[in-house]
Amino acid sequence: MDDSQANTITPSDSSNNDNTDHASPQDVIGQFFKDSPAEIPADFRCGFVAIVGRPNVGKSTLMNHLIGQKLSITSRKPQTTRHKIVGIDTRDNVQAVYVDTPGMHKKEVRAINKMMNRAASSALRDVNLVLFVVDSMKWVPDDELVLEKLKNADMPVIMVINKVDTIEEKRTLLPLIEQHGKRMKFSDIVPVSALRGANLEHLHEVIAKYLPFAPPMYAIDQLTDRSERFLASEIVREKIMRQLGEELPYDLAVQIESFKEEPATINEKTGKPKPACLYIDATILVERQGQKLIVIGDKGRKLKQIGMEARIDMEKMFEQKVMLTLWVKVKGGWSDDERALKSLGYSDI
């Protein structure tokens, strides 16, 4: 980014009272989720699901197919601070929230042991269900390590025998299921081919059976990482509109440059906790230098106000501390550039 063309502001005081008269974040969310059903059926099921297993058994492939190839689906709510949400799958009165188990994707064998120790004590805590993924063709000591940790788990564990498409002799499948069934008391054993999408409908049904009756934790319309950024950019745009009114350049756009969450930490020296924080960098793109000056305002006052109001709304929407950095940049002719439009999320609208 060209610093000479940018003006930054980082509102840092999150304790400001919000006295401005503006649309609440609920209004903004409502705009995007207006098709969501108003009434949640009493038999709705919802819960956290952890997908575990040694490297290379197909966990990522399975998750991607379970959530319908929608990668990087994330959402933020306070209940999820313990987990990293990797996918939210909502269908037929069931919402399965897939969570990442830290270290699960490490290749090193030793890491598994460490990871599973940790997983048993933290990542697996609070999940409602575990999917233990194994490769139908191989059972190796690493699987055994994972199994050992799962034996202590106090939630249902479903064994998912993956890659069944690689089994040549299909009649060997039943004896294999029987053999695995003796390893521990699984709630269910489901053979699938994640890659081919085979038997995944059945797996969806089995997963649903083990999730508790609970209302959805997330919007029925799944949130993608993109739409989360999109909501953030819409908040900034709304604040610009409020500040500029008639002066608003009609071809102004807001681009979210980065959207990163820093987890809560403890300061090693002082021992004081530092809360989790969402760092959002956004660029306000305008067509001409004159428009840039309008957005920035006298002594940067307008931009400062926009940043402060936007941050307050973002903190409400994302339910955590937000550090917002705003830039204003002249990008002549961007509105004619199809690629730029796509990168700004206009294909989504």
Point out which residues bind ligand GTP (CB under 6 A): 53, 55-61, 104-105, 107, 162-163, 165-166, 193-195
Residue 138: CB minimum distance to ligand GTP, A: 11
Q: Which residue lies nearer to ligand GTP by CB, 107 or 110?
A: 107
60 annotated among ligand-binding-site residues: yes
307 annotated among ligand-binding-site residues: no
28 annotated among ligand-binding-site residues: no
**CA-to-CA distance for 58 and 53, rounded, in angstroms?**
9
Residue 26: CB minimum distance to ligand GTP, A: 37
100 annotated among ligand-binding-site residues: yes
127 annotated among ligand-binding-site residues: no
- Longest Cα separation, the chain: 78
Q: Which residue lies nearer to ligand GTP by CB, 85 or 296?
A: 85
55 annotated among ligand-binding-site residues: yes
**CA-to-CA distance for 69 and 299, rounded, in angstroms?**
47
Residue 104: CB minimum distance to ligand GTP, A: 6
Distances, alpha carbon 89 to alpha carbons 66, 74, 207, in Å: 8, 11, 11
Q: Which residue lies nearer to ligand GTP by CB, 192 or 308?
A: 192
Residue 157: CB minimum distance to ligand GTP, A: 17
Instruction: Classify the phi-psi angles of 334: left when phi > 0, otherwise alpha if psi is within -120 to 50, otherwise beta.
Output: alpha
Give me the numbers of helices (H) and strands (E) for the chain, helices first please: 10, 11
CB-based contact 112:54 (threshold 8 Å)? yes
Q: Which residue lies nearer to ligand GTP by CB, 80 or 162?
A: 162
Q: Which positions ≥6 away from 115 have C-beta within 8 Å?
A: 101, 102, 103, 104, 106
Residue 117: CB minimum distance to ligand GTP, A: 17
Closest residue to ligand GTP, based on beta-carbon distance: 58
Residue 191: CB minimum distance to ligand GTP, A: 10
162 annotated among ligand-binding-site residues: yes
332 annotated among ligand-binding-site residues: no
263 annotated among ligand-binding-site residues: no
Q: Which positions ≥6 away from 256 have C-beta within 8 Å?
A: 229, 230, 232, 233, 280, 281, 282
Q: Which residue lies nearer to ligand GTP by CB, 195 or 293?
A: 195
Q: What secondary structure, in 3-state letters, does 83-120 show? A: CEEEEEEEECCEEEEEEECCCCCCCCHHHHHHHHHHHH
**CA-to-CA distance for 244 and 237, rounded, in angstroms?**
10
Residue 158: CB minimum distance to ligand GTP, A: 16
Distances, alpha carbon 165 to alpha carbons 53, 144, 157, 173, in Å: 19, 23, 23, 11
Q: Which positions ≥6 away from 185 have C-beta within 8 Å?
A: none
DSSP code of residue 249: -
Helix (H, G, I), strand (E, B) or coil at 58: coil
Q: Which residue lies nearer to ligand GTP by CB, 195 or 340?
A: 195
Q: Which residue lies nearer to ligand GTP by CB, 198 or 330?
A: 198
Q: Which residues contribute to the annotated binding site?
A: 53-60, 100-104, 162-165
Q: Which residues contribute to the annotated binding site for GTP?
A: 53-60, 100-104, 162-165
